[in-house]
Amino acid sequence: MTIALSRLLKGTTALQNPARFPERLALVIGAGAEGKALSTAELEVLLKDQRIDAAGFSDKTRKTPLNDQAYYDALAQGVLTAERVQKQLEELYAAEKKKRGFLGRAFAFFAEQNGVEKAMSGAAAFEKFTYKHGIKYDSAAQRLVQGDKPRTVLDKAWDNRFLLAAAGGIGLGLAGVNLGLFPILSAAPALFFGVLPWLAAPFIGLNIFKSFSQYSILKESPTLLRFAAITAAGLAISLGVVTGMSAILPVVDPATIAAAAIPGMGGGGFSPMQYMLPIIGAFSAAALVYKRAKGVEAGHSDPAAPHADAKRKISRAYNKAVGLVINRHTAPAITAIGRAGEKATEVINRVFPKFIDIAGVPAIATLLSMTMATGGLGLLGAFAGYYITAFTGLAVGGAAMAAGFYKFGARGKDFREIGSAALTGFSLSSSSATMPKEREALKVMGVSARTRDTVVPLGGVFNMYGTSLYMGLTAFYALGMFGAAPSALQYAKTAGTVMAIALGAPGIPASNITLLDPVLQQTGLAASQINKVYAMVLPADRLLDMTQTALNVLGDMIAAVHPDRKRMRYMRARNITKLRKARLAAEAAKKPANDNLAALNDNKKDVTAGPTQEKQAVHAAAAPKPPAP
């Protein structure tokens, strides 16, 4: 057993009668060696006669069943037994192993043989095993369940793999080490950036197909229109900031990025990203067709209205036209194709992130080491104009969000919740992972449960305010950097691509690297010029990505605050009224006591004043009177 339980048992009644458990207590309070620790079976027997308080037992920083009083009570009451605990541990451990990859299972086979049996042998081993695997006790289910695993140093390093790859490449390059001179690593950038468009195009298209086929555009149109307005605001801010900063700061000279050309990618050629707008439109239309076919196959029809107004007539005409293509004869085939598209989405969502992890990390490190080894530290200084512009634009975007929150009724306490959610998004660099924190913050701010449950999940898919702002900043800056006078058509195509991607593309690791290519393709830049833009962006990409994620969180939250702004003001006014009434009640409770004290003081004055007045009268009578005239 652990020393903590030894200390705990010294203050219990069990120690006062050591004859009841002489052997067990000797083992518990003895040397404390793991081999002599109390097993789960022995603990079960002990708890049936002696209640142990979990407070103060075990390491409180480690969330394990041994921290939970309900676990001890379950053992004491027979809800859990040693056999059930062992069986549940084996089930959870087997389920965890299925989720591991081949290398993980192979390593676990050698590293954790008989892990459950060892955990059952003593409390110290049990605590270590359950903490490592994130196992906790669920009092509602009355069993051990899988929880969140503790974050290790390796986990944190993996979360920041792209930042570490960029920093490592820059450090090696500044030290004179050019990874591009190694045969295998020299091909990594060309492989990654060459394959990237062919995987990113179906990834974006299929995920837009999945999103639009799951949600009703008409039903969610108010929320989607707010998302579109927020995204368009981010795009407008990016254009304004780039225009203003370009007039103040010198634009980065493309000649300084000559060393950043990616081998094998300067020749141009066909790329699916050149046709990203038609691809997004085709997948969106396919999603609507698939959604309609599912409704036809399920037997849903448009109900007839008693009064056929113009809007209903148009709807009926549209339904008849669509019915010529999507009807009970064609719907089964269309839905079969749609389900195949959903399965393809699941496959690409597994393959594409793996490709980024395997090929992206060495490609980024190699590219930056090549760039820094040739250009040196002065190259980062040459990129300062872009970095200042980008972070200024993101700061302006954050200030615009703060002003919007204030206009919609947010005040001091609300801004603390907003800042906490944005900081969580910045740390996690994932809008989806920040959703629970967003919902919690919106609840504290007074946003209704219905709005939270609708807007937050949709915002994780359709609302990317920070993404539109960052993509617009980089694309518009690239247009001005290469000296060409962009046409209105180029601006429109770039803005349209940014809007389409920001409204439909999901969040993935290193999303800037993935989503930036289709945007830059619409600017009309050559492949070699796009390579130089990547070389300029990559050194600060991670910080830019984390900042844009925080802005994405703010965009989702303001879309939820806007429809409930009147409710928030009412809730705040009601809270203020409650506080005022409570203060008045407290003052009123004190007032009678003060009045009684004042009356008592007055009575005392009257009592003391009475005799004094009488004495004065007696002295006045006894005093000699003046002679009569």
Residues constituting the chain: 629
Residue 591's pLDDT is 64
Into how many domains does the chain fold? 2
pLDDT at 2 over 50: no
Do 550 and 466 meet the contact criterion of CB atoms below 8 Å apart?
A: yes
Whether 334 and 429 share a structural domain: yes
Q: Binning pLDDT at 50, 70 and 90, where does residue 514 land? A: confident
Residue 344's pLDDT is 93
Whether 376 and 475 share a structural domain: yes
Do 200 and 360 meet the contact criterion of CB atoms below 8 Å apart?
A: no
Give the end of a domain, one of 514, 535, 562. Answer: 562
pLDDT digits (tens, 9 = 90+) for 468-488: 899 889 988 988 888 766 677
pLDDT digits (tens, 9 = 90+) for 427-471: 777 777 788 888 888 888 888 888 887 788 777 767 688 888 998
Whether 96 and 218 share a structural domain: no
User: Which CATH number characterizes residue 550's domain?
Assistant: 1.10.3860
What is the rounded average pLDDT of the residues 396-411?
Answer: 92
Longest Cα–Cα distance in the chain: 140
pLDDT: is 173 or 32 the higher one?
A: 173
Give the end of a domain, one of 150, 165, 187. Answer: 150
Has residue 522 been placed in a domain?
yes
Has residue 582 been placed in a domain?
no
Tell me the DSSP string of 200-218: HHHHHHHHHHHHHHHS-TT
pLDDT at 175 over 80: yes
Whether 370 and 488 share a structural domain: yes
Residue 618's pLDDT is 43
Has residue 477 been placed in a domain?
yes
Q: Binning pLDDT at 50, 70 and 90, where does residue 24 land? A: very low
Q: Which of 263-267, 327-331, 364-368 has the lowest mean pLDDT?
A: 263-267
Has residue 620 been placed in a domain?
no
Q: Binning pLDDT at 50, 70 and 90, where does residue 395 land? A: very high
Residue 392's pLDDT is 95
Whether 94 and 176 share a structural domain: no
Has residue 584 been placed in a domain?
no
What is the rounded average pLDDT of the residues 394-415?
Answer: 91
With b for 16 or more beta-carbon neighbours within 10 A and e for fewer, the 431-461 pattern comes to bbebbebbbebbeebbbbeebbebbbebbbb
Q: Which of 28-37, 71-80, 402-411, 479-488 has the lowest mean pLDDT?
A: 28-37
Give the end of a domain, one of 527, 562, 597. Answer: 562
pTM: 0.63
Whether 91 and 169 share a structural domain: no
Has residue 583 been placed in a domain?
no
Coil vs helix vs strand at 135: strand
pLDDT at 213 over 80: yes
pLDDT digits (tens, 9 = 90+) for 124-150: 778 788 888 888 888 888 888 888 777
Whether 213 and 259 share a structural domain: yes
pLDDT at 309 over 80: no
- C-alpha to C-alpha distance for 485 and 533, rounded to whole angstroms: 17
What is the rounded average pLDDT of the residues 236-251?
Answer: 90
Q: Which of 95-109, 245-259, 478-492, 522-536 has the lowest mean pLDDT?
A: 95-109
Q: SS3 letters for 511-576?
A: HHHHHHHHHHHCCCCCHHHHHHHHHHHHHHHHHHHHHHHHHHHHHHHHHHHCCCHHHHHHHHHHHH
Has residue 627 been placed in a domain?
no
pLDDT at 496 over 50: yes
Q: Which domain holds residue 451?
A: 157-303+313-562
Residue 401's pLDDT is 94
- C-alpha to C-alpha distance for 465 and 554, rounded to whole angstroms: 8
- C-alpha to C-alpha distance for 129 and 121, rounded to whole angstroms: 11
Residue 19's pLDDT is 38
Whether 125 and 34 share a structural domain: yes
pLDDT at 491 over 90: no
Q: Cα–Cα distances in Å, from 290 out to 200, 285, 300?
A: 22, 9, 14
Whether 11 and 101 share a structural domain: yes
Has residue 524 been placed in a domain?
yes
Q: Cβ-count burial of 262 within 10 angstroms (0-12 exposed, 13-18 middle, 19+ buried)?
A: buried
Q: Which of 27-41, 285-299, 331-345, 493-507 has the lowest mean pLDDT?
A: 27-41
- C-alpha to C-alpha distance for 581 and 568, rounded to whole angstroms: 20
Q: Binning pLDDT at 50, 70 and 90, where does residue 62 land? A: low
- C-alpha to C-alpha distance for 367 and 259, rounded to whole angstroms: 10
Whether 146 and 179 share a structural domain: no
Residue 154's pLDDT is 80
Residue 275's pLDDT is 77
Whether 360 and 395 share a structural domain: yes
Whether 143 and 167 share a structural domain: no
